[in-house]
């Protein structure tokens, strides 16, 4: 057994109670010379001693790996999926998983069968925008008697992003970008007006496939829509009112959300970064990521 | 750490806890006021009604009022608040209130701890095997409650958590035994004033009055158990167990003279080789005397041999005790001082002239003591005396009534009247109280002597043989002496004196007899090996093993080392048991992948075996056929419906060849 890899044991408050009961048993047995009470005292102390290796081994052969975390907005909760694998040949019980110093709850797994894994979702609050890394996970268990808590720290490198908290004026800024383009453009995309059909390409949304045409025996075609060509909206950090960087970033985040919701093409201009106007989930996250990492 | 979602105790651990508390109750019903265990029972029942509805005792003044009410009720029930029964009652009452109140994890733990304390209390009230079994079951269930609590909702309702607890306890057994044998048994200086009352314990007193033995004769409880380690068991009629000698006669009533005999060694001649060694485990009777085969010639530790040749313990016997004693079946001849002789001839003045006349007539016929004894026995044999368990009431001075009118009595009547008559006739006499016979247990090879075996007999001092045993009951009812009381009563039952009853006949069935013998054997083992193991026994054991240092500190140190070593051994063993046995298919495939990686085609963790085989085949064209075979075998073995041993064999073979042919 590798001693360095052994989990740590910490007493719980219940251990105080147990020690008190043990002392009471010993005192009563010795003052009365009561062999039956002695037997009870030895049974309880032996039970406690035997529970030590059980508590250690319950945690020792567990492995935990993290999976990728979806970005969240500051003030929301981060959900970290963790897979706890039992690498031993015996089932393990009552395991609790926690991200230390994250301010989040423990998640309990009641049983992990031999050689199997269990998945838990650890939630903890996302404080401020930026990129973070979960460096350590903490596995703990008070099984079997609850008087000792075995804890084991597992290193991991799970990065995740926290976007700025969207706050400010929900009205989109006036469309000053239009001057850059002389004529209104028609943009194909996820608009409302039907513009015709085109041959289906792999990766396109299935929702836009012309299923009725497929039913009539035609090849797969996608319907094309256009958005009302109001021109691209440039969200410029420099143009956001206010002095505080965080407030301005919050305002930008809100506008990005509003623009995406209104299906208006938007671009982002930060110090040293420019993202060309577009629409869609990929673009949306690219913009918010830029905000999150802004220095 | 207690998280917020744990604010209710789950139902399953609570059920186990309740079951444990039910098993704690039997000793409580035995020794406490009935309402106390009833309160606990109703608290448990109510809890299961309250818990799903979210009710609990919250209002602090109400809690305090209930505690005060409980203390008052205990005071009223026992008339005291100190002592063992009120103390235990108080713990039980607090436990009941706690059950009403408890709702958090911390309180659940508290209740389990209190459950363990109740187990301890149970052992203070009673210690016999039946109670011990109950308490050990309760202990196991308490452990199960904890294990269940920390298992949470893992699969399995009853057996898996119970198995978890039993595994823990089974692994603890070697350590329990070692600690039991080696943990220092120090007696703490300050003694708790907890003296269990022995009202339930039976035994005779230092006063033999008409009817005193009678009450014992109907008791089935165990007085003591005897083993003969050397195997020389005396015949049944010689199994006179000497208890107490009474030298002060008042007609039908006899008394032991001293409450504590003087510290003087009786005159004794130890006849070498002719002694019977016995190991006796005595049940507590709250008095000082200890029993031994008539007559003991050695004193046991903690006891002396009194002038009357009986064993006297310095401490009253409050717990089962095991001791060794040697007895000589042949009476050693002893001298008698004139002053002592005078005392042994004292008779009360109240004895009627008719009785005196009877004794004088024997003496007049032949003054030799032996002749007098013979005449007296003749008198009992020929004058139609009857032996009965219910002879009716006699008073202290009813000697004449007994000897000339009713002529019906029990052993105590015969012994008392015979000894008085001997004294009247000028022969020094005394009464001995003890037991006669016993039930042999073939499984455990020991004699079990019950309270119903109580017997009283006489000893007369004869010039040539010294103190000589004379049992007048023997001439009145020889079957009593030869068969034992129970068989004697059964025989008499035919004569309509006493009906044996259905249960007794039922209990005579061979199957039940076997169960009874087994239970008795276990009981004996519990009493003699566990309860009788005290500091002296421990010293004897450590001497036998040859431990050099016997101070409590070194024994404590030794116990700690044993416990630490035990943890290491157990942990290593458990680690070996828990080692996963990898799937042979998986490990062979892993070997194949490792070889492929060495050759420059590492497998991507997300790559399926078929895709990998295709890629590796392209990378290693000369091996592509073998790679395809390996991949096919792997897919077949891993995802196929059943294990094909021929395929596995081929798979192993191909994996082995995979690298070697290339090199």
pLDDT at residue A204, as a whole number: 65
Residues 6+ apart with CB under 8 A from B302: B313, B314, B315, B323, B536
Which residue does chain B place closest to A1, by CA atoms? B572
Which residue, B538, B656, B564, B584, is CA-closest to B186? Answer: B538
Identify which has the larger pLDDT, B101 or A181.
B101
Q: Please list, in sequence order, all residues whose beta carbon lies within 8 angstroms of the beta carbon of residue B26, skipping any fewer than 6 positions away.
A: B122, B130, B131, B134
Pick from B406, B462, B453: which is nearest to B434 by CA? B453
Composition of chain B by helix, strand, coil, percent to 5: 55, 10, 35
Token pair 């992003």: residue: A161
DSSP string, A129-153: SEEEEEEEEEEEE-TTTSSEEEEEE
- Here the tokens at position A277 are 């106007």
| B553 domain residue, yes or no | no
Mean pLDDT over the full length of chain A: 81
Taking the C-alpha atoms of residue A242 and residue A247, their distance in angstroms, rounded to an integer, is: 7
What tokens were used for B47? 């809890």
Residue A5 has what pLDDT? Answer: 66
B35 and B142 share a domain?
Answer: yes
Can you give the residue ranges of every domain in chain A?
1-163, 176-292
Nearest to A144 among B110, B150, B581 (CB): B150
Poorest-pLDDT segment among A101-110, A136-145, A197-206, B8-17 = A197-206
Least trusted range by pLDDT, from B4-8, B165-169, B326-330: B4-8
Same domain, B493 and B605: no
pLDDT of residue A193: 56
The answer to whether the CB atoms of B3 and A90 lie below 8 A apart is: no
Contact B113/A39, CB-based, under 8 Å?
no
Secondary structure class of B103 (helix, strand, coil)? coil
CATH topology of domain A1-163: Immunoglobulin-like (2.60.40)
At residue A42 the predicted structure's pLDDT band, cuts being 50, 70 and 90, is: very high
Above 70 in pLDDT, residue B268?
no
B16 touches chain A (CB under 8 A): no
At B428-473, the pLDDT tens digits run 888 888 888 888 877 778 888 888 888 888 888 888 888 888 888 8
What pLDDT, in 10s, does the model give residues B494-520? 444 444 455 566 666 778 878 888 888
Q: Which of B147, B186, B528 should be substituted to probe chain A, the one whose Cβ sees the most A Cβ atoms within 10 Å?
A: B147
Helix-, strand-, coil-residue percentages of chain A, each rounded to 5: 30, 35, 35
The span from the first CA to the last CA of chain B, in angstroms, equals 59
Tell which residue, B303, B283, B294, B314, has the closest CA to residue B245: B294
- Measured in whole angstroms, how far is the alpha carbon of residue A66 from the centre of its chain? 10
> Which of B119, B566, B577 shows the shortest C-beta gap to A49?
B566
Q: Is the pLDDT assigned to residue A270 strictly greater than 50?
A: yes
Boundary residue ending a domain (B105, B133, B151): B151
For residues B73-98, give the mean pLDDT: 82
A141 to chain B, any CB pair closer than 8 A? The answer is yes
> Is residue B508 domain-resident?
no
Rounded percentage of chain B residues whose pLDDT exceeds 90: 6
Choice between B263 and B382, residue whose per-residue pLDDT is larger: B382
Are A34 and B124 within 8 A, CB to CB? yes
The residues that bridge with B455 in the sheet, in sequence order, are B434
Q: Compare CB distances from B176 to A17, A27, A46 and report the shortest one's residue.
A: A46
Structure tokens at B32: 């406490």
| Both tokens assigned to B102 | 């408890």
- Contact predicate A55/A150, CB 8 Å: yes
A225: number of Cβ within 10 Å: 16
The stretch A152-156 carries a mean pLDDT of 87
Confidence band, pLDDT 50/70/90 cuts, at residue B484: low
For B179-200, write each residue's pLDDT tens digit. Answer: 998 888 877 644 444 444 444 4
CA–CA distance, A4 with B192 (Å, rounded to integer): 47
Q: Concatenated DSSP letters for A71-129?
A: -EETTSEEEEEEEEEE-SSS-EEEEEEE-TTS-PPPEEEEEE-TT-EEEEEEEEE--SS
Tally of CB atoms within 10 A around B191: 12
Residues of A in contact with B139 (CB under 8 A): 40, 43-44
Mean pLDDT of B151-180: 87
Q: How many CB atoms lie within 10 A of CB B382?
A: 9
pLDDT over 70, % of chain A: 85
Q: What is the pLDDT of residue A185?
A: 47
Global model pTM greater than 0.95: no
pLDDT digits (tens, 9 = 90+) for B20-74: 988 988 888 877 888 888 888 888 888 888 877 777 777 788 888 888 888 888 8
Rounded distance between C-alpha atoms, residue B654 and residue B625, angstroms = 11
Please tell me the distance in Å from B2's CA to the nearest CA on chain A.
10
Domain membership flag for residue B464: yes
Task: Report the alpha-carbon distance of residue A171 to residue A11 in Å, rounded.
Answer: 56
B529's CB contacts (< 8 A; 6+ apart) are: none
Residue pairs between chains A and B whose CB atoms are closer than 8 Å: 179
The percent of residues in chain A predicted with pLDDT above 90, rounded, is: 10
Contacts of B198 in chain A (CB under 8 A): none
Residue B271 lies in a domain: no
Q: Nearest CB to B183: which of A24, A42, A43?
A: A42
Q: Which residues of A touch B572 (CB under 8 A)?
A: 1
The DSSP call for residue A209 is B
More confident residue, A52 or B237: A52
Judge: A44–B579 Cβ closer than 8 Å, yes or no: no
Instruction: Say which CATH number the domain at B373 has.
Output: 3.10.620.30
Structure tokens at B176: 């329990």
Question: Looking at CA atoms only, how far is residue B132 from chain A in angstroms?
Answer: 8
Q: Taking a C-beta distance cutoff of 8 angstroms, is the pair A126, A76 a contact?
A: yes
User: How many structural domains does chain B have?
Assistant: 3
Q: Tell me, yes or no, whether B343 and B479 share the same domain.
A: yes
Report the pLDDT value the prediction gives residue B273, as an integer from 0 to 100: 56
Q: Is residue B249 part of a domain?
A: no
Q: CA–CA separation, B307 vs B303, rounded Å?
A: 13
Mean pLDDT of B323-330: 82
Residue A38 and residue B188: Cβ atoms within 8 Å? no
Domain range spanning residue B420? 339-429+456-499
Question: Both tokens of residue B460?
Answer: 């007369």
pLDDT for B660 equals: 66
Tell me the residues of chain A between 173 and 192 that have a Cβ less than 8 Å away from chain B: none
Peptide bond into A215 cis (omega under 30): no
- Beta strands (DSSP E) in chain A are 8-11, 62-66, 72-73, 77-86, 92-98, 107-112, 117-125, 130-141, 148-163, 187-189, 193-199, 221-227, 233-236, 266-270, 273-278
Question: HEC profile for B437-481?
Answer: CCEEECCCCEEEEEHHHEEEEEEEEECCCEEEEECHHHHHCHHHH
pLDDT above 70 coverage of chain B, percent: 86
């Amino acid at each position: 057994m590798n001693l360095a890899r052994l989990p740590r044991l910490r007493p719980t408050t219940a251990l105080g109670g147990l020690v008190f009961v043990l002392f009471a048993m010993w005192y009563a047995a010795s003052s009365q010379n009561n062999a039956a009470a002695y037997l009870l005292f030895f049974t309880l102390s032996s039970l406690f001693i035997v529970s030590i290796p059980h508590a250690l081994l319950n945690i020792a052969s567990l492995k935990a790996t993290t999976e990728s975390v979806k970005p969240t907005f500051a003030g929301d909760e981060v959900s970290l999926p963790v897979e706890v694998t039992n690498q031993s040949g015996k089932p393990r019980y009552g395991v609790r998983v926690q991200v230390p110093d994250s301010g989040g709850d423990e998640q309990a797994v009641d049983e992990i069968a031999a050689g199997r894994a269990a998945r838990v979702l650890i939630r903890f609050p996302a404080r401020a925008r930026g990129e973070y890394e979960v460096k350590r996970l903490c596995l703990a268990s008070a099984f079997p008697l609850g008087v000792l808590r075995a804890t084991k720290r597992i290193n991991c490198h799970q990065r995740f992003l926290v976007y700025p908290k969207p706050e400010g004026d929900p009205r989109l800024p006036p469309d000053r970008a239009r001057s850059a383009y002389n004529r209104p453009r028609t943009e194909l995309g996820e608009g409302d007006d039907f513009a015709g059909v085109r041959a289906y390409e792999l990766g396109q949304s299935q929702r836009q496939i012309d299923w009725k045409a497929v039913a009539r025996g035609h090849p797969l075609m996608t319907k094309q829509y256009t958005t009302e060509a109001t021109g691209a909206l440039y969200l410029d950090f420099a143009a956001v009112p206010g002095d505080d960087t965080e407030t301005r970033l919050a305002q930008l985040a809100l506008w990005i959300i509003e623009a995406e919701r209104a299906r208006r093409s938007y671009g982002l201009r930060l110090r040293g970064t420019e993202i060309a106007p577009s629409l869609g989930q990929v673009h949306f996250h690219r913009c918010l990521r830029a905000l999150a990492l802004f220095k | 750490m207690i998280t917020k979602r744990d604010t209710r105790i789950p139902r399953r651990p609570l059920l186990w806890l309740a079951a444990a508390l039910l098993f704690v109750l039997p000793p409580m019903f035995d020794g406490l006021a009935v309402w106390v265990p009833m309160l606990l029972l109703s608290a448990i029942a109510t809890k299961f009604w309250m818990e799903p509805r979210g009710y609990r005792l919250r209002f602090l003044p109400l809690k305090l009022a209930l505690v005060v009410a409980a203390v008052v009720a205990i005071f009223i029930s026992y008339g005291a608040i100190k002592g063992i029964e009120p103390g235990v009652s108080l713990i039980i009452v607090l436990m009941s209130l706690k059950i009403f109140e408890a709702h958090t994890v911390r309180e659940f733990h508290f209740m389990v701890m209190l459950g363990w304390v109740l187990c301890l209390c149970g052992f203070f009230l009673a210690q016999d095997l039946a109670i011990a079994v109950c308490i050990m079951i309760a202990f196991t269930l308490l452990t199960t409650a904890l294990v269940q609590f920390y298992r949470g909702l893992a699969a399995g309702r009853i057996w898996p958590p119970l198995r978890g607890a039993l595994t823990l306890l089974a692994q603890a057994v070697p350590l329990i035994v070692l600690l039991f044998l080696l943990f220092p048994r120090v007696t703490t200086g300050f003694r708790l004033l907890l003296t269990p009352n022995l009202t339930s314990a039976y035994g005779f007193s230092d006063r033999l009055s008409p009817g005193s033995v009678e009450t014992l004769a109907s008791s089935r409880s165990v007085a003591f158990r005897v083993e003969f380690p050397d195997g020389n068991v005396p015949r049944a009629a010689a199994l006179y167990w000497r208890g107490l000698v009474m030298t002060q006669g008042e007609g039908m009533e006899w008394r032991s003279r001293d409450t504590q005999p003087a510290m003087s060694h009786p005159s004794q001649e130890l006849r070498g080789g002719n002694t019977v060694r016995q190991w006796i485990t005595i049940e507590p009777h709250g008095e000082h005397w200890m029993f031994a085969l008539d007559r003991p010639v050695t004193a046991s530790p903690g006891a002396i041999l009194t002038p009357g040749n009986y064993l006297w313990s310095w401490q009253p016997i409050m717990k089962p005790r095991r001791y060794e004693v040697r007895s000589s079946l042949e009476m050693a001849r002893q001298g008698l001082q004139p002053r002592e002789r005078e005392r042994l001839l004292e008779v009360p003045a109240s004895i009627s002239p008719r009785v005196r006349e009877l004794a004088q007539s024997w003496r007049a016929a032949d003054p030799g003591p032996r002749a007098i004894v013979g005449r007296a026995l003749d008198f009992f044999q020929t004058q139609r005396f009857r032996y009965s368990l219910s002879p009716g009431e006699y008073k202290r001075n009813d000697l004449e009534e007994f000897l000339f009118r009713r002529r019906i009595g029990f052993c105590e009547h015969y012994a008392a009247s015979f000894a008085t008559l001997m004294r009247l006739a000028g022969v020094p006499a005394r009464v001995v109280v003890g037991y006669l016979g016993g039930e042999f247990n073939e499984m455990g090879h020991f004699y079990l002597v019950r309270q119903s075996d109580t017997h009283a007999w006489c000893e007369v001092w004869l010039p040539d043989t010294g103190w000589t045993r004379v049992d007048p009951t023997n001439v009145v009812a020889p079957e009593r002496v030869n068969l034992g009381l129970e068989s004697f009563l059964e025989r008499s039952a035919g004569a309509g004196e006493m009906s044996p009853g259905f249960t007794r006949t039922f209990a005579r069935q061979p199957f039940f007899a076997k169960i009874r013998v087994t239970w008795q054997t276990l009981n004996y083992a519990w009493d003699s090996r566990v309860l009788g193991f005290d500091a002296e026994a421990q010293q004897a054991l450590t001497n036998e093993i040859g431990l050099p240092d016997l101070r409590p500190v070194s024994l404590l140190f030794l116990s700690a080392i044993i416990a630490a070593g035990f943890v290491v051994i157990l942990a290593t063993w458990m680690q070996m048991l828990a080692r996963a046995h990898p799937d042979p298919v998986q490990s062979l495939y892993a070997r194949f992948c490792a070889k492929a990686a060495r050759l420059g085609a590492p497998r991507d963790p997300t790559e399926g075996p078929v895709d990998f085989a295709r890629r590796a085949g392209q990378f290693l064209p000369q091996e592509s056929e073998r790679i395809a075979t390996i991949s096919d075998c792997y897919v077949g073995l891993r995802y196929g419906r059943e294990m094909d041993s021929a395929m596995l064999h081929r798979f192993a073979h191909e994996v082995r060849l995979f690298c070697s042919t290339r090199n």
